[in-house]
Structures are given as C-alpha cells and as structure tokens.
C-alpha cells in the first residue's frame, strides 16, 4: 500500500523493531524504566530544556503543556487553525477549564502581534487571565520564520506570557531551514515533538520544559491515565527516530515538491496556490472530478489518498519514494 494520507502511517523499520524487542525496561510509573529515563534525559539536553516527559500522543503532550502552564479560568492565545485548538476535541476547555482565545492565522501561518496584543485581557475580574501564547511549527506544512520566533519571545516577555510551541513537526521546520533544532526551541518555555509522524516511531510524543513544569505535567499525565509501565519499548523507538530519522526528512520535502509539480501537470489538479515548504502538499481538485470514485479506483491499485478536503492534502514520508509518486500520477491519469 502506498499511503499519502499522512506521515502518521509510517511503519517502524526492522532496526527499530529490533531495538524495541531488546529494550531494557522497568516500571516507568515508579521511575524505573531505564529506556524512558535515558530518552527523557537525552531529549531535555538535546533541545535545551531542563526536563522532558514521554507522552502517549501529541494531543496529550499539548494538553499537559496547557494544563501545566494555565490554571482554571486562565486563557491561552493560539491560531484559529492551531491543532491544540481545532483538532484536540477541546481538551484544554473540557479537562483544564482553560479558555482558548483563537486569532486568525496570517497566510504564512504566523499570528499578528497587534492582534494578539488586542486580545490580551486586562487584569480585571470580568476577564479570564491571559497566560500563554501557543504557536505551531510547522503549521499546515508551513515553516515559521526564525525572526518571527525571536519576536514572539520578546513579545511574550513584554506581556508576561509563557510561550509554548506545538512542535509536532518541528523537525520538518528545522530541516527545511537547515538549522539545528535549538535555533527554534531556544525561544520557547515548552515544546512538544511527535515521534510518531515523519520521524517514524510507532507511538509517542515528548513534552519539554522546565523541571517545575514537567513535574506538574507528570502529575497531570497520571491523572489522565497516561502513566505507562514498561514503556521503554516505545522510548527506544523514539530515541532512534530522533537520532536516525531527522536528516532524511529532506527527502520527504524534495518528494513533496516533486509530487506538487507532477500533480500540477494533470488536468483538473492545481497546486500552484500552495507553495510546498516541507512534506505537505495541498491541491485543488476540480468539481468535475468525482473524488470518491477516483479514491476507490486508486484503492484498487493499493494507493490511498484523501481527496475530500478543500484543498485536498497529500503527505510524503519515509515509506513513500519517488517511484511511488510516479505510480500515483500514472494511476490518476489512467483513472479519469
């Protein structure tokens, strides 16, 4: 199966499975899992934070960050398109009693500081207390400029806000910018990383932050049922993902550019409005093309795409090579 729906479909490779099978493990709820401890210690140092926490998912890592930074009745400012506003089942509001204050994202994925400043509530009992700014990088495949991140840090210091990064795909941003990850992470009070997307681990995310923040997050993780026992089996996969699968993200980006240019040549497909920056390709599919039927024809050829979005989204990852893209393009040509 060639699967373009997301980079979450990546399969752990043989050497990762081998490391998992042989991982030294213990009960992580007692703090006894050597592989979890090694990953958390290494990841904190590698990304320039005091501490790290392994979590079940990116959604959980974001929720822990929001709940550790904010108390009931506090508020976080985020993008209207932010994953931790739009796609996480309202967790911060439901479970944390934290009010989101979404701001329309600018076309480049950033949030305007003027709009954020206008949304920050004065210290007055009528209002929720504005505590945190949450950014996302990459957002919809777009990379936030480093100069913007530096301005966000200054802005948050001026307004006494904490600054969080939903960095589910932050390594795609670092690879696209050709910078070390610390050039991005250094601006933030906390950051999440998904190990289970383009980096190729089967399960898990990391939350990075100060010792105090992570110890608060560890308590909330337990409360949410996220205390896992011999989780070192997953941690070794995460460690391999972060140490072996970062540089190759450049191939995914090159393949995404190639995919966009090949789709653009097809009748009824247009990618020109969505310049590719990382591994996510957006495409307008003409109304005259029956999406459902095309998807089914492709399925018969063991190609999975999701064409229902407007625009539709295709994602490249380690289990898609250039020849797979040629296979997709040929199959679309043959199907309509």
Ligand X SMILES: *Cc1c(COP(=O)(O)O)cnc(C)c1O
Nearest-angstrom CA–CA distance, 54 and 193 = 10
CB of 196 to ligand X, least distance (A): 6
Beta strands 129-136; 74-79: pairing state? parallel
CB of 280 to ligand X, least distance (A): 10
Find tokens 């006494």 and name the residue: 160
Nearest by Cα to 238 from 203, 186, 289: 203
The phi-psi region of residue 140 (left if phi > 0; otherwise alpha if psi is between -120 and 50; otherwise beta) is left
CB of 61 to ligand X, least distance (A): 8
- 168 near ligand X, rule: CB under 6 A: yes
Q: Please give the residues from 126 up to 165 whose contact with ligand X meets the rule CB under 6 A.
A: 136
Nearest-angstrom CA–CA distance, 228 and 169 = 24
Region near ligand X per CB under 6 A, out of 52-60, 150-158, 233-241, 270-278: 52-60
Q: What are phi and psi of 164, to 5 degrees?
A: -115, 145
- 172 near ligand X, rule: CB under 6 A: no
Residue placing its CB nearer to ligand X in the complex, 174 or 294: 174
In the stretch 200-239, what mask flags binding to ligand X with x, by CB under 6 A? Answer: -----x----------------------------------
- Using CB under 6 A, which of 132, 194, 259, 331 touches ligand X? 194
Question: Which residue's Cβ lies closest to ligand X?
Answer: 58
Strand boundaries in 68-154, DSSP class E: 74-79, 99-103, 129-136
- 40 near ligand X, rule: CB under 6 A: no
Could you tell me if 77 and 112 are in contact, meaning their C-beta atoms sit under 8 angstroms apart?
no
- 23 near ligand X, rule: CB under 6 A: no
The phi-psi region of residue 312 (left if phi > 0; otherwise alpha if psi is between -120 and 50; otherwise beta) is beta
Beta bridge partners of residue 270, listed in sequence order: 284
Find tokens 């790290």 and name the residue: 52
Region near ligand X per CB under 6 A, out of 19-27, 51-59, 236-244, 255-263: 51-59
Residue placing its CB nearer to ligand X in the complex, 62 or 271: 62
DSSP 8-22: GGPPP-HHHHHHHHT
Nearest-angstrom CA–CA distance, 75 and 72 = 9
Nearest by Cα to 203 from 17, 66, 63: 17
Residue placing its CB nearer to ligand X in the complex, 81 or 290: 81
- 190 near ligand X, rule: CB under 6 A: no
DSSP 246-259: STTHHHHHHHHHHH
- 58 near ligand X, rule: CB under 6 A: yes
* CA 327 to mean position of chain CA atoms: 28
- 47 near ligand X, rule: CB under 6 A: no
Region near ligand X per CB under 6 A, out of 53-61, 181-189, 211-219, 320-328: 53-61
- Using CB under 6 A, which of 35, 59, 105, 245 touches ligand X? 59
- Using CB under 6 A, which of 3, 75, 166, 262 touches ligand X? 166
CB of 169 to ligand X, least distance (A): 6
Could you tell me if 46 and 191 are in contact, meaning their C-beta atoms sit under 8 angstroms apart?
no
Residue placing its CB nearer to ligand X in the complex, 233 or 298: 233
- 252 near ligand X, rule: CB under 6 A: no
Residue placing its CB nearer to ligand X in the complex, 256 or 332: 256
CB atoms within 10 A of CB 336: 16
Beta bridge partners of residue 166, listed in sequence order: 136, 192
CB of 49 to ligand X, least distance (A): 18
Residue placing its CB nearer to ligand X in the complex, 281 or 332: 281
Binding residues for ligand X, rule: CB under 6 A, are 57-59, 62, 83, 136, 166, 168-169, 194, 196, 205
């Amino acid at each position: 199966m060639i699967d373009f729906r997301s980079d979450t479909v990546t399969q752990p490779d043989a050497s990762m499975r081998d490391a998992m099978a042989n991982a030294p493990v213990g009960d992580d709820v007692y703090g006894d899992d050597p592989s979890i401890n090694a990953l958390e210690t290494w990841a904190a140092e590698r990304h320039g934070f005091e501490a790290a926490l392994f979590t079940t998912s990116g959604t959980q890592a974001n929720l822990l960050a929001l709940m550790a930074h904010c108390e009931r009745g506090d508020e976080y400012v985020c993008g209207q398109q932010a994953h931790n506003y739009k796609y996480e089942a309202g967790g911060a509001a439901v479970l944390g009693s934290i009010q989101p204050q979404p701001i329309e994202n600018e076309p480049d994925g950033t949030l305007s500081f003027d709009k954020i400043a206008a949304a920050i509530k004065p210290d007055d009992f009528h209002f929720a207390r504005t505590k945190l700014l949450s950014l996302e990088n990459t957002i919809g495949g777009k990379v936030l400029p480093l100069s913007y991140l530096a301005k966000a840090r200054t802005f948050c210091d001026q307004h006494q806000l904490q600054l969080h990064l939903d960095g589910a795909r932050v390594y795609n941003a670092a690879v696209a910018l050709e910078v070390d990850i610390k050039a991005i992470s250094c601006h933030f009070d906390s950051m999440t990383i998904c190990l289970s997307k383009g980096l190729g681990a089967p399960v898990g995310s990391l939350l990075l932050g100060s010792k105090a923040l992570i110890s608060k997050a560890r308590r909330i993780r337990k409360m949410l049922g996220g205390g896992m026992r011999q989780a070192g089996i997953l941690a070794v996969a995460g460690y391999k993902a972060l140490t072996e699968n970062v540089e190759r993200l450049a191939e995914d980006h090159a393949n995404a550019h190639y995919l966009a240019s090949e789709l653009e040549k097809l009748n009824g497909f247009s990618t020109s409005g969505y310049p590719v920056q990382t591994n996510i390709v957006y495409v307008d599919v003409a109304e005259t093309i029956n999406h459902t039927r095309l998807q089914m024809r492709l399925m018969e050829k063991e190609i999975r795409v999701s064409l229902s979005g407007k625009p539709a989204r295709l994602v490249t990852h380690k289990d898609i090579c250039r020849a797979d893209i040629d296979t997709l393009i040929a199959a679309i040509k043959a199907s309509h």
